[in-house]
Chain A
């Protein structure tokens, strides 16, 4: 009885990572969604009188070299970064599921060929691959999504494939096969739901990497182009004013850290939840 109680209380233990991560992440999404409809100031309104204003109640994060309100720009930028990252992960996860399911379940020649190509793509570090694709198709928002979507696909294929290999000979799958269940149904109705716990962890990690990669590209000046504000391009603009107005650098920089940290906690929380 005592043993039972112990395990029960362990099960009830608060998942602190999940809670903190969820709170941090939902705040980000809340700000991003509000930012679509309303910002305290216009993101492009310049004001010569209010250049480099330090953070105050009227300008929470201060103003930049053109007198634009940094908080408003961060709000918009978070929305842009979040949208791009979600699209990137949606693309790479969808392709990853289809390719990973087919290669993992069936194996054989298709598996070898797809995996060789995946290995070759994986040989490129993802930022490098994104740079290649952008250099081919040019800069801009859609191409960033495309580039990172392709760059992030291999890791999803690998994870999904591994899970399908693990499950393809499980007893319940063998029985489903014997009962004459069709192949697509086995793949997507019988196996797929069972890989979601692993899958969600990689989705949160993927979102994080997408945020970091997107801001990196914008910082290098080859991501989303002006006048759209992104966290990366704001940092690149702010770099020169670091000693005189540190808030200009810190606002977008710490926002990225906040987002990534929140999501990392969330993924660790989901991982613990699984166990």
Chain B
């Protein structure tokens, strides 16, 4: 119990620190935002009014508190670049709202594919006595980790899109109009994200299984006459999977970040693409919220994994 309280306090402090960093980072930017929105022709009065409207005339601490309060309330501010119509600025919330499902589904599919393939592969690899298969898997996984996400994306587009014609590259289908088509399109970027993760996870599971296979309880099981299959699946795997859970948490975090690049390759209108375009146009309210959002997801995933690990492994709990 004490552990959980400590963990949650650390979580809150980290989230707070991240939010301060995310906010402060954009306060030291050279150049005046008001200038860049209105252009150089605007009158001083007009500039002053906009500054007040955006709350830029207040000291940074007050602005941070205001911003934090609004974010907690679900008010994410307005974009500097996009406008709703002539008189209204585009709320960041609306800008992000319909892009979020794209990225979330992409991450979900990628992690799903990774788990489905990597875990059987890792177990098979650890269990095999075949030197050749071992070598092939070693080279394949090593290579898969050396291919950058965007190059892999391009290769996947070429293979599945142009050569096999399984989807038409660039013709994204919105989840609002056709959910089946949307998932069908997303599978290919998800494959591109998943391939290196499969390599990593399979290697990791293989190593952790092989380490477990040398432990005393395996020797005992063998001397009892348990079959190798039984030892692997009933005894070893449960223990070998434990570190893999932490590892998968890391993978989830990386998938979220990795989708930023892959969305660009497949022209997916997710938050990754929004982030890149917001950075290019220096649309800071959007960047701030997206950074905060992605980071929170990552931190919370780490937290959940940490807690899960303790729940699943009584040995750590009792220490």
B-binding residues in A (CB < 8 A)? 116-117, 119-121, 123-128, 131-136, 208, 212, 215-216, 219-222, 232, 235-236, 239, 242-243, 246, 249, 253, 256-257, 260-261, 264-265
What are 13 inter-chain pairs, A to B, with CB distance below 8 A?
A117-B17, A120-B21, A123-B14, A123-B295, A124-B18, A128-B294, A215-B150, A216-B150, A222-B276, A256-B148, A257-B143, A260-B147, A260-B148
In the bound complex, how far is the Cα of B278 from the Cα of A135, in angstroms? 9
In the bound complex, how far is the Cα of B260 from the Cα of A119, in angstroms? 22
Q: Is B253 an interface residue (CB 8 A)?
A: yes
Please determine whether B151 and A116 come into contact, CB atoms closer than 8 angstroms. Answer: no
In the bound complex, how far is the Cα of B261 from the Cα of A216, in angstroms? 7
In the bound complex, how far is the Cα of B146 from the Cα of A268, in angstroms? 13
Please determine whether A253 and B279 come into contact, CB atoms closer than 8 angstroms. Answer: no
Nearest Cβ on chain B to A63's Cβ, whole angstroms: 19
Could you say which of B154, B275, B280, B291 contacts A253, with CB atoms under 8 Å apart?
B154
Q: Is B257 an interface residue (CB 8 A)?
A: yes
Interface centre among A117, A121, A212 (most CB of B within 10 A): A212
Q: Is B298 an interface residue (CB 8 A)?
A: yes
Q: Is B179 an interface residue (CB 8 A)?
A: no
- CB contacts (< 8 Å) of A136 on chain B: these are 25-26, 28-29
Please determine whether B18 and A123 come into contact, CB atoms closer than 8 angstroms. Answer: yes
Please determine whether B25 and A215 come into contact, CB atoms closer than 8 angstroms. Answer: no
In the bound complex, how far is the Cα of B253 from the Cα of A232, in angstroms? 23
Please determine whether B256 and A125 come into contact, CB atoms closer than 8 angstroms. Answer: yes
A-B pairs, top 3 by smallest CB distance, nearest first, are: A125-B257, A260-B146, A120-B17
In the bound complex, how far is the Cα of B298 from the Cα of A123, in angstroms? 7
Please determine whether A220 and B261 come into contact, CB atoms closer than 8 angstroms. Answer: yes
In the bound complex, how far is the Cα of B13 from the Cα of A221, in angstroms? 34
Given A116-B17, A120-B17, A242-B158, A125:B265 Cβ within 8 A: no
- CB contacts (< 8 Å) of B278 on chain A: these are 135
Which B residues between 210 and 267 are near A, CB-CB below 8 angstroms?
A: 253-254, 256-258, 260-261, 264-265
Given A125-B253, A235-B154, A132:B22 Cβ within 8 A: yes
Could you say which of B265, B279, B295, B302 contacts A222, with CB atoms under 8 Å apart?
B279
Nearest Cβ on chain B to A140's Cβ, whole angstroms: 13
- CB contacts (< 8 Å) of A239 on chain B: these are 154, 265
Given A134-B279, A219-B264, A127:B148 Cβ within 8 A: no
In the bound complex, how far is the Cα of B262 from the Cα of A239, in angstroms? 13
A-side interface mostly: helix
Q: Is B282 an interface residue (CB 8 A)?
A: yes
Please determine whether B150 and A219 come into contact, CB atoms closer than 8 angstroms. Answer: yes
| A127 to chain B: closest residue by CB | B257
Nearest Cβ on chain B to A158's Cβ, whole angstroms: 13
Nearest Cβ on chain A to B152's Cβ, whole angstroms: 9
| A217 to chain B: closest residue by CB | B261
Given A134-B279, A135-B279, A257:B257 Cβ within 8 A: no
Could you say which of B25, B154, B254 contacts A125, with CB atoms under 8 Å apart?
B254
Please determine whether B257 and A249 come into contact, CB atoms closer than 8 angstroms. Answer: no
| A261 to chain B: closest residue by CB | B146
- CB contacts (< 8 Å) of A212 on chain B: these are 148
Could you say which of B13, B254, B258, B295 contacts A116, with CB atoms under 8 Å apart?
B13
Given A136-B26, A219-B264, A242-B162, A128:B295 Cβ within 8 A: yes
Nearest Cβ on chain B to A84's Cβ, whole angstroms: 15
Given A125-B294, A239-B265, A257-B147, A222:B18 Cβ within 8 A: no
Q: Is B103 an interface residue (CB 8 A)?
A: no
Could you say which of B14, B28, B258, B294 contacts A119, with CB atoms under 8 Å apart?
B14
0 or 1 for each of B128-162: is its CB under 8 Å from A? (1 = yes): 00000000000000110111111100110110001
Given A116-B17, A124-B291, A257:B158 Cβ within 8 A: no
In the bound complex, how far is the Cα of B264 from the Cα of A262, in angstroms? 27
Please determine whether B148 and A128 come into contact, CB atoms closer than 8 angstroms. Answer: no
- CB contacts (< 8 Å) of A123 on chain B: these are 14, 18, 295, 298-299, 302
Please determine whether A128 and B291 come into contact, CB atoms closer than 8 angstroms. Answer: yes
Given A216-B261, A222-B276, A257-B147, A243:B21 Cβ within 8 A: no
Which B residues between 273 and 304 are near A, CB-CB below 8 angstroms?
A: 275-276, 278-280, 282, 284, 287, 291, 294-295, 298-299, 302
Given A216-B261, A220-B276, A253:B155 Cβ within 8 A: yes
Nearest Cβ on chain A to B292's Cβ, whole angstroms: 10
Please determine whether A128 and B154 come into contact, CB atoms closer than 8 angstroms. Answer: no
- CB contacts (< 8 Å) of A220 on chain B: these are 260-261, 264, 276
| A128 to chain B: closest residue by CB | B257
In the bound complex, how far is the Cα of B266 from the Cα of A239, in angstroms? 11
Interface centre among A134, A208, A215, A219 (most CB of B within 10 A): A219
- CB contacts (< 8 Å) of A208 on chain B: these are 146
Please determine whether A264 and B145 come into contact, CB atoms closer than 8 angstroms. Answer: yes
